[in-house]
Chains A and B, each alone.
Chain A
Amino acid sequence: MTATEAAPNGAALHVGRSLKRKEDPRLITGRARYVDDMSLPGLLHAAIVRSPEAHARIVSIDASAALARDDVEMVLTGEDMADLQSPLPCAWVPPGTEVANPPHWPLARGVVNHVGDAVALVVGTDRYAVVDAAEDVLVEYETLPAIVDPKAALAEGAPLVHEDLGSNKAYEFSLGGGDVEAGLAEADVVVQREIVNHRISGAPIEPRGVIADYRAGSLTIHSSTQVPHFLRLFLSLMLGMSEERIRAVAPEVGGGFGAKLQIYGEEALLAYASRRLQRPIKWIETRSEHMQVSHHGRDQIATCRMGARSDGTITAFHVQITADLGAYLMLLTPVIPVLGAFVMGGCYAIPNVRTDITGVFTNKMATDAIRGAGRPEATHMVEVMIDQLASELGMSPPAIRRRNFIPKESFPAEVATGVIYDSGDYHGSLDKLMGKLDVEAFKREQAELRERGIYRGIGLSTYTEICGLAPSRIVGPSGLGLQTGLWESAMVRVHISGAVTVYSGASPHGQGLDTSFAQIVADRLGVDPEVIEVIHGDTGTGPQGLGTYGSRSLSVGGEAIARATAKVAEKAKAIVAHELEAAAQDIEVSGDRFSVKGSPDRGMSLAEVAGAAYIPENLPEGMEPGLEETTFYDPENFVFPFGAHAAIVDVDAATGKVTVARYIAIDDCGPAVNPMIIDGQIHGGITHAIGQALYERVHYDDDGQLVTGTFVDYSLPSAAEVPMFETDRTETPSPSNSLGVKGVGEAGTIGASAAVTNAVIDAIRPLGVTFMNMPLTPVRVWEAIEEAKGGVPA
């Protein structure tokens, strides 16, 4: 099946093409409306008093000076909110596993557990004034010992983040299959490394923001979120409000990357305060706040053991992860390493794979989903380990991969971790990648650069990921333990004029899904994408939904739209058949008409069909008027995009500076709906991972102070740090949905950190460095080179 055939009757005019995005005119002219661009009559502003301490008891809060100001309306503390019905949610309650989940309130009650923990809310009439007033709130703290290192946190006598839990261990969970110890015993070579996947920030360029407006018993909340429907549900539980009285809206959202897949304290706080004051209130996160209190990602330390026979056949992979969860469990905090564990075997036929996870509390911000969410960590582990193994065995990185790839003929393939990979052609993508590498030129350039002290290296990463979240029966309450279904819904409404409005439960925030969705609908109804409006992110107008994350919105949300559109098309065909006195099965969409097969002149446009449907003078017997359909779609299986990436890097041996000279990515996300958008997702995903590999690190010092609290200290890659990317695709359709699509939002991030890391290690191996962990910053690379030389770095 190709993208073209995916549309009915070979009528694809729009799917598969790089249409310019419908979203862009408002965005390139400054006419889009993000949360901070909105105002309301009587709007108040909020600022938050946050803890400067990593761990402390709150002795007293004196808000009198703040309250004495003319421009301050209210100051709230944790004690003032005792009537909140429930704390912030964690959605993972795995059957048969104890997960310690301390209550996490929007404002601290008695103790603060990380820098930035919210202590008080100040509400006033002016945006600058509330910031001044927040500084007037005097909080006295009694400092408690902070625990920052997750391994130390597990030691006997370590300071406890939550005294009453009696331990910093939140949970233990294992996932795998086969017998890893037996598999390692069979191996001729076992390689063991400690792989550190350090803490990073999502850092969308739009910080978070909330406007809560409670009036006459109903709440409208605008939030820069990826999950408006979850937000409505959880606000209803926390505030004790009936769900239909809450409307949650994600307006234009300026990127998420997982950082906005969360139910945040500020959302509950603003809603609560607005209800208290009966006034609308706005809060906009500063970047410094974002670095402190928008959840972080990664932060896993893994002891990895990979065993192989001397011919390179991998016999077992065992991973023990210490996951730094931070101070609280937020929406998906503890389940992130588990998502990675599903694909810990990578693209390889490894019979014995097991991941043992220990989740640990520390006095830091919570970790949760950041682009890739567990799968970049897993891919990094397996892909760095396989290169370490290749080096030990004297094999080349492509050869050891080819030796172990799950063959194309095996799909669908059940792997040791118990999931069924739906599709794959790993040799195909690696072959295509190798065809683009000019190895002779690489060697020639490598030799030339070496004379100037520049060490050039090449690194591969062949990945697969698990996405399209998710089949509810696998991940739901009695499966993995998420307390939700993970279906998506869609409504397709044809107006009497033949224009179309599509309502999706997805909540895109930069992915271009208005365009991709419109392309899918256009081909199925014989209309131009121009006359299709896609509405999303509003619980008050759309169908139900579960939001945009986990590379799910095309394979789950898009499939729901395709199915709703198919229902509309079926009804349209019945109407056309009735009008033209033909059989419904003989009606097809051809170009811009529903016409009789073989007689293209006998047909009706969608507008004519809609006219017949809404002025129901001559509908088939028993047919309801109107032309709109709703679908709920729960996938049968996950989808498994895959690909092969190569990074070519130059390391300046004198300074340790790494430059990415070339980056080639072959990705397979099934048939392309819009190739231009796919390339864009890959470019951004790779850059996110290059950021982690080379520049970005959320760093706390030993006292739990956040050292990287702004964009000055936390270095996002700029245009000057990345090359033009060379992208190409293979198209292996997923059998899991009718579109054959698999999602691409996270692929680049999942594949790229290992390619860059392997390339840096390859580059400096001649200097004696055989292994390094990210971030590969100049000082760390330089230190590694100096240590390998036998010197002691300063």
Chain B
Amino acid sequence: MSATVPVRVTVNGASHHLDVEPRRLLVHALREELGLTGTHVGCDTSSCGACTVHLDGRAVKSCTVLAVQCDGREVMTIEGLGSTDDLHPMQEAFWEHHGLQCGYCTPGMIMAGVDLLNRTPQPSESEIRHAIEGNLCRCTGYHNIVKAIQAASGQQTEATSQARDEVQA
């Protein structure tokens, strides 16, 4: 193993000291050093976005960032966004609108969605689609992901889950 480099990084509000190989990817540091396995790896070409986290408040693909580049910076992962007892509105919207199936792309997709709304609070459908085109999903056909992001932005969208049955009843 090559020599390690000390890194001081804040992750989900907590400060950590890590000693990492210079080549260590942020995603591996998060998953293996810090046990934050909600951030996933789906490819090796920075194409799929399953590893999307926020670095200093902006979405990045953590497979394309070295852990050493994060020295002195702040990272937020899906675990920091909300918990089952205290869901972030974007998480709530993905659940309500069936924006996920196997769930593997979901943490990255949610982090990308939050990043979009931070920049563009009321995006159009087209803006949403282009904002998440670096995040691949094989299950949903994106339909309900787009709806979930629309709903999280407070825009009207057709009901997806049981609310729809109640409307129809």
Residues in chain A within 8 A of chain B (CB atoms): 16-21, 23-34, 36-37, 71, 126-129, 203-207, 252-255, 257, 284, 286-288, 509-512, 675-677, 679-680, 683-688, 710-712, 716, 718-720, 722, 724-725, 748
Contacts and interface: CB of A to CB of B under 8 A. Distances in A.
Given A205-B40, A255-B138, A720-B130, 11 more contacts: A19-B162, A25-B95, A30-B36, A32-B38, A126-B1, A127-B32, A128-B23, A255-B104, A287-B43, A716-B136, A718-B129
Contacts of A712: 45, 47
10 contacts: A18-B164, A21-B95, A29-B91, A37-B31, A205-B40, A287-B42, A680-B144, A684-B139, A686-B141, A712-B47
B136 A509 contact: no
Contacts of B103: 23-24, 26-28, 32, 252, 254, 510
A725 B81 CA distance: 30
Interface in B91-144: 91, 94-96, 98, 100-107, 110, 125, 128-130, 132-144
B143 A683 contact: yes
Given A24-B94, A28-B87, A206 B102 contact: yes
Interface of B: 1, 21, 23-24, 28, 31-32, 36-45, 47-48, 50, 77-79, 81-84, 87, 91, 94-96, 98, 100-107, 110, 125, 128-130, 132-146, 160-162, 164-165
B1 A718 contact: no
B34 to A, nearest CB: 12
A129 B87 CA distance: 38
A554 to B, nearest CB: 15
Contact of B44 (A20, A71, A710): A710
B139 A711 contact: no
Nearest to A508: B102
Closest 6 pairs between A and B when the two form their complex, measured CB to CB: A30-B38, A510-B102, A254-B104, A27-B103, A683-B141, A687-B141
A725 B104 CA distance: 22
A36 B47 contact: no
B143 A255 contact: no
A10 to B, nearest CB: 16
Contacts of B42: 205-207, 254, 287
Nearest to A24: B95
B24 to A, nearest CB: 8
Given A19-B162, A29-B82, A37-B37, A684 B140 contact: yes
B37 A30 contact: yes
Given A126-B1, A711-B45, A720-B130, A27 B106 contact: yes
A16 B168 CA distance: 12
Nearest to A20: B161
Contacts of A509: 102
Contacts of B77: 30
B83 to A, nearest CB: 6
Nearest to B111: A30
B138 A36 contact: no
A720 B132 CA distance: 8
Given A18-B165, A27-B103, A30-B38, A719 B138 contact: no
Contacts of A32: 38, 103
Contacts of B87: 28-29
B101 A205 contact: no
Nearest to B96: A20
A30 B161 contact: no
Contacts of B134: 718
A724 B140 CA distance: 11
A30 B79 contact: yes
B47 A711 contact: yes
B141 A287 contact: no
Nearest to B101: A510
B80 to A, nearest CB: 9
Contact of A710 (B38, B43, B94): B43
A748 B138 CA distance: 13
Contacts of B141: 683-687, 722, 725, 748
A20 B107 contact: no
A712 B37 CA distance: 25
A206 B132 CA distance: 18
A686 B145 CA distance: 15
B162 A683 contact: no
Contacts of B50: 205
A16 B166 CA distance: 12
A253 B139 CA distance: 12
Contacts of B136: 205, 711, 716, 718
Contacts of A206: 40, 42, 102, 104
Contact of B140 (A30, A284, A683): A683
A725 B91 CA distance: 23
Contacts of A254: 40, 42, 102-104
For B21, B23, B43, the residue with the greatest tally of chain A CB atoms inside 10 Å of its CB is B43
Nearest to A685: B141
Nearest to A691: B138
Contacts of A677: 98
For B32, B43, B101, the residue with the greatest tally of chain A CB atoms inside 10 Å of its CB is B101
Contacts of B137: 205, 719
A678 to B, nearest CB: 10
B105 A17 contact: no
B48 A711 contact: yes
For B125, B129, B132, B146, the residue with the greatest tally of chain A CB atoms inside 10 Å of its CB is B129
A20 B1 CA distance: 47
Contact of B38 (A29, A126, A288, A687): A29
Contacts of A33: 37
Contact of B102 (A204, A719, A724): A204
A288 B1 CA distance: 24
Contact of B43 (A26, A511, A711): A711
Nearest to A686: B141
Contacts of B38: 29-32
Given A18-B162, A25-B95, A711-B48, A205 B104 contact: yes
Contact of B101 (A16, A512, A719): A512
A680 B44 contact: no
A37 B34 CA distance: 12
Contact of B95 (A28, A129, A255, A725): A28
Nearest to A723: B143
A252 B107 CA distance: 14
A34 B40 contact: yes
A288 B138 CA distance: 17
A253 B32 CA distance: 19
Given A28-B95, A205-B137, A716-B136, A34 B84 contact: no
